[in-house]
Structure 1
Amino acid sequence: MLKNKAGNYFRYALGEIVLVVIGILIALQINTWNETRKAKQFERIMLHEIYLNLKDDIVTFKMLDQRVTAGDQAIKQIIKLLASDQAVQLEQATQQKLDQLLSDSTVAYLFSYNRGAFDALKSSGIEKVQNDELRSRLVFHYDYSLPRVKELIQITNNEITRQADTELAWRLFNYKIKDDGEGNLGVYMDSYKGDDYKSQQLLRFIKRHQNRIGHFRFRLSRILPNAEALLQELEQVLAQELEINN
């Protein structure tokens, strides 16, 4: 009888242990599922934020590309005007047109982008992006491609500003206070001081800005398609996630 009681107690205790273990395993499984769900939700939110940042960046890049293209066209028109006019002295109407084109060709360009959402994701763990290819492209875009383009453009801007837009520009051009079209007053290039529109100094000035604009166009021609391709990939990943959740 004692043996029967001991056997029953052992089976009861074993059953209790099994139930406890099963309960622990279920709790761990539920906890793992919750953590996975939270991580996936966080990934979706951050990828969507990066998508919005990138979309705004592309609009900014396209606006910058339009300004750079306008500057490039102005430079080409200047060279065409100077090449077509055999005389060193130009007619007044041509001079006014050249003055405007020179002003258009020397507009400053600022390259900027928003990496706030990417940095937030990176600080919490970039490995939370499950798609290996997408993760690699995000890191390449924000940690290499964009910073490199910005650095190279800043180097070009600094060189042009130091060598051309300061010393040479002040010697070659008249400046006056003007309205920028939005009610803001500032000091802007107005007209060429001399009569010789084929002077070596002026031609060097034009060449420097031609090089600067060419550099901008080259960099934008690389960064814009890459940004648009990354945006499309983000759209596809987010759409797939939406389908899975629905």
Structure 2
Amino acid sequence: MIKFFRKIRQKLLSENKFSKYLIYAIGEIILVVIGILIALQINNWNENQKNNEKEISIAKELYIELNENQISVKNQLELWENRDKKISEVISLIESENVKLTNREFDSTLIYVIAFSNFKLKQSKFQRILSLESFQFKKSPTLINDMLSLNNMYTTLMDYYRQNDDNYHKLLQPYLIENYATENFNNIITGRKTESKVDYHQLLYDLKFANIIHSSRGSSAPFVQRIKITINRIEALKRQLEKFYPSIIIANNR
């Protein structure tokens, strides 16, 4: 092709057809420019395809982790709601003037208060995406800001959890070890019907125990509410991803 154009140029020059040569030269330049533009367009298209595939891949990773968190946190919510309910029941017993429960019935309630459940969130993929400073979701520019907002909620939620953890391990557990018979709880777990060695009334009349239980309630109730809010925010972010990247739903269900 290059030889073909060269022959044409040489022929025009040899025939002294300068005006035609000039027009031809301009036309040749235009063809070269068009060829470059087409090549750039193809290259840009390939780059956009790669970026789109990368964006979808990142959206899929995020969606999978959000889905796993949603399922896990919902399961943990049930445990924490039950614990919070039992804490309230113990507070009602403390405030009651006439408690008519057997030791076994009291222990069956208190055991849910001491059945402390560890709370965990998966954040590795979430944090990795946020660490990509130059990355943006082109299909939904607000997604990164929504992720940052949810990340702040994760941080707050774990702060609430640590309050519960401290309250349990630093206050409630040491108090019960010192002032109550842990064998009572073992009897509940194993189903043994042995007589309790310690009467629960001594707990109900102890101001320190009352303060610890009220403190537990003060940590537990807000934490449960925070879990619910976080679940809703996870669901909202999942819906955004489903809207802009519908293919990730199919991939996640395989």
- TM bin (shorter chain): 0.7 to 0.9
Report the AA paired with residue 70 of structure 2.
I
1:54 aligns with 2:61: no
TM-score by length of structure 1 reads 0.77
Equivalent-residue separation in structure 2 for 1:174 and 1:148 (angstroms): 35
Cα offset, 1:83, TM superposition: 4.5
| Corresponding position of 1:11 | 23
1:103 aligns with 2:116: no
1:30 aligns with 2:42: yes
| Corresponding position of 2:135 | 126
Q: For 1:1-246, list aligned pairs within 5 A.
A: 4-84=16-96, 86=98, 94-124=102-132, 125-142=134-151, 144-166=152-174, 168-175=175-182, 195-196=201-202, 197-239=204-246
Equivalent-residue separation in structure 2 for 1:145 and 1:6 (angstroms): 75
Higher strand proportion (structure 1 or 2):
1
Cα offset, 1:22, TM superposition: 0.9
Moved more, 30-39 or 8-17: 8-17
Change (3 A) 1:134 1:211: same
Equivalent-residue separation in structure 2 for 1:47 and 1:205 (angstroms): 44
Report the AA paired with residue 75 of structure 1.
I
Residue pair 1:44, 1:238 contacting (<8 A) in 2 also? yes
* SS of aligned partner of 1:35: helix
TM-score by length of structure 2 reads 0.75
* SS of aligned partner of 1:132: coil
Report the AA paired with residue 15 of structure 1.
G
State the number of aligned residues. Answer: 228
Larger Rg: 2
Equivalent-residue separation in structure 2 for 1:241 and 1:161 (angstroms): 42
Residue pair 1:68, 1:217 contacting (<8 A) in 2 also? yes
* SS of aligned partner of 2:147: helix
Residues 84-131 of structure 1, C-alpha deviations (whole Å, 9 max, x = no match): 5526xx66xx21121222121122233322223333433443324431
Residue pair 2:157, 2:226 contacting (<8 A) in 1 also? yes
Cα offset, 1:8, TM superposition: 4.1
* SS of aligned partner of 1:126: coil
Report the AA paired with residue 77 of structure 1.
E
Report the AA paired with residue 66 of structure 1.
E
| Percent of aligned pairs with the same amino acid | 22
Residue pair 2:154, 2:230 contacting (<8 A) in 1 also? yes
